[in-house]
Amino acid sequence: MLQDLLSVYKPRLTGHTVLRAQRNFGRAVAIQSGNIVANTFSVGGGVSARVYDGGFWGIASDTTYDASAIEKALSDATRNAGLLRARLGEKSPPLPVAPSGKFATRSNENDAEQRAVMEFTRELDAYILKKYPNLAARVVSLQSNAVEKVTVSSDGADLYSILPRSVAYFSLCATAPDGMVVEYTDFEAKTGFIPECYPAPEALFPKIDEIYETLMKKCEGVFPEAGLRDVIIDSNLGGMLAHEAIGHPTEADLVRAGSIAGSNLGKAVASELISITDFANTAYGKTLPQNVLVDDEGTPARDVKIIQNGVLREFMHSRDTARHFNVEPTGNARAESFAAEPIVRMRNTAILPGKDKIEDMIASVDDGYFLAQTGNGSADLTSEFMFGVTMGYEIKKGKLGRAIRDTTVSGVAFDMLKTVTMVSDELTWHGGGTCGKFGQSMPVGMGGPSIKCKITMGGR
Amino acid sequence: MKTKLMEIAEYALGELKTRGADGAALLVGEALGDSLQADYGETSLMSSSVGASISVKALIGGRRGNYATNGIDRESVDLAIAGALEAAEVSVPDEAEVIPEGFGDYDYDIGSTQGDPEKLFDCAQGFVDDCARDYPKIAVEKLGTNFSLNHSVYANSNGSRYYGRGGSYGFGASVVARDGDKVTTSSGFGFSAYDFDKPALSREYGRRVLSDCEKQLDPVPMSGKLVGKLLLSPECFDDVLDTALSLGVFDSAIIMGVSPWKDKIGEKVASDALTITCDPFDSRLIFPPRMGDGHILERQEVIKDGKLNSFLLSHYASLKTKLPRAKCTSCAIAKPGERSYLDILADIDDGLLLNSFTGGSPAPNGDFSFVARQSFRIRGGEICEAVNETMVSGNVFDMLRNIIGISRETVDDGCLMTWAAFEGITISGK
């Protein structure tokens, strides 16, 4: 457990100052067609100080975590902010106080031994090899990552937090009848260390069987027809849509940079069926994948109701952007590592469920596609987004048809979301996502129902 | 610093041997950094960092274990040693897990020995001022300048002792164009330098990025579908080439046997115009590496006049597949053609200028479907309107066989790539 060496400095913190100690752990075993290509453990950590002075920030960090490094970080961060103020003159008054307090997230901290992770992963690989010997290639990996933090701030924040997650990853390749090598990748992510998440390999065998069966359908798949199409986006992808299409354009630092969302606050930007929230830590009585109680500026985290019934209501904020837009900070400032600057990031972003049944939604499509699985996505300030589709099916006259091969879909979120005519009544959460922004990678939670809309598909 | 890092390396190698490793390799380093950041065109943040790290690889009877941590005090080094040994003990033997042969002592010293904070200010402010003067619709979203000084030692149990010291300046900017409520997608421009001795926008590449960004304010979605030609900017060609090489010649694709080029050594895989070499000794490269994968790097020809000359296999993958190890797997350089990119553009009657793309991962056979970014329609040999909501689909391996032009111009800010044109690409919109 990360030792709290920071609390004793609280009485000395003035203005707006935050001290953060953080350790990021990673454990992984990966087997590629029977070859062990990863058998690793890594830990990276240290301490940083962040000081605000006259509208400027100073940060200093050290990979050593002891009293001497903390003193030096405080001193250097204060010097850095002061240098900017002295050179450029005071730019802004002090930040308003954001009262905080003592918070803690706990977890079962029993991490697996490397031997157990190795044996577990080899059992998964042996299962695939024995049951599906004709595969062209296979990759299996089991990994756990944890972020452990101690944060104290001049506004009273005093946080201990540990957020572990474990991921079982599978990628299978087969040769299709047309001679093409087809790949299907899927993973299962859970909150916690490996022993808690995956007590036995057998529990993952059904997942492997499902991936294999999906791959076989994909081998028989056809290329989708390019163009604007009627689609049902499965709840597996709903979270990706919420994150990429709406989440990024409504991060307040991007709004300040010119995101198209900025001129649409208070306006209808989507069908009345669409509501989107960035949840801080819990939703519908459950703890979410990213359990953020206090952000990396020491601000208590609250839910941000981005879109309510189609109307754009609010943005996600750090202390800096909140002051710029004259609102309260929302606790969305997060940093990848102890040394990184906290920037506006999502936590657990979801489209809220509607009332439709998925069967009725599919039945309502005469000629279109059912998009079942994704691998990655991106978006920009114009709200133009894309995501890769790694599995899907044709829909013909209300029924699922042939599988389709890999494709990419795109659209302009504020146009596309107005085409939504049905939203399903289920909500699927994914905790295995990683989001990249300004060079920082951050674990995020994503959730969504299934959605019927029009979207531009790539294809032949 | 060299002495301190070498002592840590010798200690760790000694301990690993004493505690049962029959082979070991490690990388130990220290880094100091200063950086300056501007948000929305205004200086906002100054930071300084002190960092240290060690990564250890241990072999016990052909079983490999790795451990990495970012401390080099005795406690951290001992943890890394114990962790790598523990991981190796629980692994399974693999005859391809061998420590590379020793190369003796090798020192590599490059770049500045000390950063100048004034240069960080001057370079950042100069860029903001130049943008405001020459590109009035450009808004600087985020801008960073930095100096970092890195010392590292690689050592292995076969006698290799490498010491590297590099002091580098770095610049990176993310910009958009704005006009009233209109805004473009973000464009990026960055480079590394031995010194900040000239303005960031003295680079033609940077000016092209800003100019193209300003022209993106009124994009038009493509309508319909056509099979046409693509002109790729050097940065975009680099991305396409990366995709092809990753699916065609790197470790995973060859070990798993799913590369479409797995049996193509010595055969034609691309147009005659394409020659790709990995050359860390090319004088135009900034901060080329000297050591990788436990070996001192050498020049490696990958594709020559369209023929596949070599896979880009690591030491491990080479032993695994019994195919030659690559002498270098980075620093890819495309051989320039004889025509200017404007001449190549003039020959394109209907197509797209692609500056960037995003999309799902291509299939193992190279099929892809990407969204065009920062791109323009080409008609009658001229660059026309900016496009959005436009997809390009094809196959990266087919693309390399359908090259219709390689420019004589190269971009030499990190990658040494040319402009390249292709035919037979599906371009589609709404």
C-beta atoms of B69 and A44 within 8 A: yes
B45-65 burial, b if ≥16 CB within 10 A, otherwise e? bbbbbbbbbbbbbbbbebbbb
Phi-psi region of A334 (alpha: psi -120 to 50; beta: other; left: phi over 0): beta
For residue A288, what are the contacts with CB-CB under 8 A and spacing of at least 6?
Answer: A279, A281, A282, A347, A348, A429, A431, A445, A447
A149-153, B167-171, B203-207, B343-347: which has the minimum mean pLDDT?
B203-207
Distance CA A300, CA A277 (A): 17
- A140 touching chain B per CB within 8 A: no
Which residues of chain B have a CB within 8 Å of the CB of A34? none
B183 in contact with A at a CB cutoff of 8 Å?
A: yes
Mean of the pLDDT values across residues B315-344? 96
Among the partner residues B50, B258, B389, nearest to A410 by beta-carbon distance: B389
Per DSSP, which regions of B233-331 are E strands? 276-278, 291-292, 295-296, 300-304, 307-308
Distance in angstroms (rounded) separating the CA atoms of residues B218 and A259: 15
Of the listed ranges A318-332, B143-157, B415-429, the one predicted with least confidence: B415-429
From chain A, pick out residues whose CB is under 8 angstroms from the CB of B370: 408, 458
CB-based contact (8 Å) between B371 and chain A?
yes
CB atoms within 10 A of CB B91: 24
CA–CA distances in Å: residue A123 to residues A34, A119, B88? 11, 6, 18
Confidence of residue B79 (pLDDT cuts 50, 70, 90): very high
Residue B376 to residue B382: CA distance in whole angstroms: 10
Distances from the Cα of A6 to the Cαs of A71, A147, A302, B227, in angstroms?
Answer: 10, 17, 25, 62
Query: What is the mean pLDDT of the segment spanning B358-384?
Result: 92
pLDDT at position A110 is: 81
What pLDDT is stored for residue A202 in this prediction? 96
B75 touches chain A (CB under 8 A): no
Q: How far apart are the C-alpha atoms of A345 and B16, rounded to whole Å? A: 42
Length of chain B: 430
| Cβ <8 Å between B90 and A118 | yes
A257–B257 CB contact, under 8 Å = no
Of B181, B186, B179, B182, the C-alpha closest to B213 is: B186
Q: CATH 3.30.2290.10: which residues of chain A?
A: 7-219
Q: Which residues of chain A lie closer than 8 angstroms to B360, CB-CB?
A: 374-376, 387-390, 406-408
| Residue A16 distance to chain B (closest CA, Å) | 14
Using CA atoms, how far residue B305 sits from B174, B280, B366, B420, in Å, is: 37, 20, 21, 15
Q: In which residue are the tokens 């002109």 written?
A: B231
Q: What is the pLDDT of residues B123-134, one digit of tens each?
A: 999 999 999 999
Lowest mean pLDDT among A379-388, A437-446, B211-220: A379-388
Of A29-33, A375-379, B322-326, the poorest mean pLDDT is in A375-379
The distance between the two most distant Cα atoms of chain A, rounded to a whole number of Å, is: 70
The reply to whether B94 touches chain A by the CB within 8 Å rule is yes
pLDDT digits 0-9 by tens, A306-332: 999 999 999 999 999 999 999 999 999
Name the residue facing B255 among A33, A84, A136 (closest C-beta).
A33
Q: Which residues contact A178 (CB under 8 A, 6 or more apart)?
A: none
Closest partner residue to A60 (CB to CB) among B47, B71, B174 is: B47
Cα–Cα distance, B355 to B390 (Å, whole number):
13
Cβ-defined contact of B51 to A226 (cutoff 8 Å): no
How far is it, in rounded angstroms, from Cα A277 to Cα A60?
34
Mean pLDDT of chain B, nearest integer: 94
Nearest to A46 among B37, B70, B181 (CB): B70
Side chain identity, residue B396: V
Task: Answer yes or no: do B360 and A376 touch at CB < 8 A.
Answer: yes
Residues of B in contact with A381 (CB under 8 A): 176, 183-186
CA separation for the pair B113, B169 (Å, rounded): 11
pLDDT at B370 over 80: yes
Contacts of A8 (CB under 8 A, 6+ apart): none
Contact between chains at B370 and A458 (C-beta distance less than 8 A): yes
Other CB atoms within 10 Å distance of the CB of residue A12: 11
Residue B223 has pLDDT above 90, yes or no: no
Q: If you measure CA to CA, which chain A residue comes closest to B83?
A: A41
Residues 6+ apart with CB under 8 A from B21: B58, B59, B60, B84, B85, B88, B157
CB-CB under 8 Å, A339 with B49: yes
- Average pLDDT (B393-410) is 95
Backbone region of residue A227 per phi and psi (left: phi > 0; alpha: psi in -120 to 50; beta: other values):
left
**E strand or H helix at A146:** strand A137-153
Q: Distance from A285 to chain B by nearest Cα, in Å? A: 34
B91 in contact with A, Cβ within 8 Å: yes
Lowest mean pLDDT across A239-243, B259-263, B357-361: B357-361
Answer yes or no: do B50 and A387 touch at CB < 8 A.
no
CB contact A222 to B (< 8 Å): no
pLDDT at B135 over 80: yes
- Asked if B87 lies within 8 A of A60 by C-beta distance, the reply is no
Q: Report the percent of chain A where pLDDT is more than 70.
A: 100
Helices (H), B110-216: 117-134, 204-214
Nearest-CB residue to A114 (from B86, B186, B258): B86
Whether the Cβ atoms of residue B381 and residue B347 lie closer than 8 Å to each other: yes
Q: Give the phi and the psi of residue A92 in degrees, each rounded to 5.
A: -145, 155
Nearest to B64 among A39, A382, A390 (CB): A39
User: Within the 17-56 window of chain B, which residues sit less than 8 Å (CB to CB) from chain A?
Assistant: 37, 39-40, 42-53, 55
- Tokens 């329609």 locate to B377
CA distance B259 to chain A (A): 9
Alpha helix stretches (DSSP H) within B215-299: 234-248, 251-255
Angstrom distance (rounded) from CA B424 to CA B230: 9
**pLDDT at residue B413, rounded to an integer:** 61
Confidence bin at A226 (pLDDT 50/70/90)? confident
Any CB–CB contact under 8 A between B296 and chain A? no
- Phi/psi zone of residue A166: left (φ > 0), alpha (ψ -120 to 50 degrees), beta? beta
Q: Å from A406 to nearest chain B CA?
A: 7
Residue ranges of A 357-376 with Cβ closer than 8 A to chain B: 374-376
Is any Cβ of chain A less than 8 angstroms from the Cβ of B95?
no
User: CA separation (Å) from A187 to A91, A205, A249, B152?
Assistant: 48, 12, 27, 36
Q: Which of A214, A126, A116 is closest to A166 using CA atoms?
A: A116
CB contact under 8 A, A44 and B67: no
pLDDT tens digit sequence for B245-300:
999 999 999 999 999 999 999 999 999 999 999 999 998 888 889 999 999 999 99
B14 Cα to chain A: minimum distance (Å): 21
Question: B176: which chain A residues are within 8 Å (Cβ-Cβ)?
Answer: 257-258, 381
Task: For residue A419, count other CB atoms closer than 10 A to its CB.
Answer: 17
Query: A81 vs B46: CB contact, 8 Å cut-off?
Result: yes
Cβ of A57 within 8 Å of Cβ of B46? The answer is: yes
- Cα B50 to its chain centre, rounded Å, is 25
B178 touches chain A (CB under 8 A): yes
Q: What is the pLDDT of residue B412?
A: 74
Nearest CA to B415 among B287, B310, B302?
B287
Q: Note whether B70 contacts A44, CB cutoff 8 Å.
A: yes
The pLDDT value given to residue B429? 83
| Closest by CA position to A441, among listed A30, A147, A144, A37 | A147
Q: Detail the DSSP E strand segments found in A328-417.
A: 333-334, 343-344, 348-351, 367-379, 384-396, 399-404, 407-412
CA atoms within a 13 Å half-sphere pointing along the CA-CB vector of A351: 36
8 Å CB contact between B365 and B260: yes
Q: What average pLDDT does range B381-407 have in this prediction?
A: 95
Using one digit for the tens of pLDDT, what is the confidence trace for A40-69? 999 999 999 999 999 999 999 999 999 999
Q: What is the pLDDT of residue B414?
A: 61
Q: What does DSSP assign to residue A93?
A: P
**Cα of A168 vs its chain's centroid, Å:** 17
Closest CA to A376 of B388, B358, B393, B374: B358
CATH H superfamily, domain A7-219: PmbA/TldD superfamily (3.30.2290.10)
CATH class of this structure's domain B2-214? alpha beta
Q: Which long-range contacts (C-beta less than 8 Å, at least 24 apart) are formed by B194-197?
A: B194/B110, B194/B111, B194/B112, B194/B168, B194/B169, B194/B286, B194/B287, B195/B112, B195/B119, B195/B169, B196/B116, B196/B119, B196/B120, B196/B122, B196/B123, B196/B145, B196/B169, B196/B171
- Domain positions in chain B: 2-214, 219-430
B272 CB neighbour count, 10 Å cutoff: 12
Q: Residue A405: which of B52, B176, B363 has the nearest Cβ?
A: B363
Q: At what angle do helices B74-89 and B2-18 cross, to 10 degrees?
A: 40
Please report the pLDDT score of residue A102 as a whole number. Answer: 86
Query: Which chain B residue shows the shortest CA-CA distance from A80?
Result: B46
Residue A247: DSSP 8-state:
I
pLDDT tens figures, B160-174:
999 999 999 999 999
Instruction: Return the bridge partners of A17, or none.
Output: A51
Identify the closest residue of chain A to B141 by CA–CA distance. A257
The answer to whether the Cβ–Cβ distance between A384 and B361 falls below 8 Å is no
Alpha-carbon torsion, ordered B154, B155, B161, B162, to 10 deg: -10
In chain A, whose CA is at the least distance from the CA of B175? A257
B132 touching A, CB under 8 A? Answer: no
Q: Are B46 and A80 a contacting pair at CB < 8 A?
A: yes
Q: Do B43 and A226 touch (CB under 8 A)?
A: no
Q: Does B321 touch chain A (CB under 8 A)?
A: no
pLDDT of B415 reads: 67
33-62 of A, contacting B, C-beta below 8 A: 33, 35-36, 38-46, 55-62
Name the pairing type of β-strands B391-395 and B417-428: antiparallel
| Residue-wise pLDDT tens digits, A411-425 | 899 999 999 999 999
Residues A160 and A155: their CA atoms lie apart, in Å, by: 16
CB-CB neighbors (< 8 A) of A87 in chain B: 121
According to DSSP, the β-strands at A440-448 and A348-351 are parallel
A355 exposure class (CB count in 10 Å sphere: 0-12, 13-18, 19+):
exposed
- What SS3 state is found at B366? coil
Q: Which residues of B touch A115 (CB under 8 A)?
A: 86, 89-90
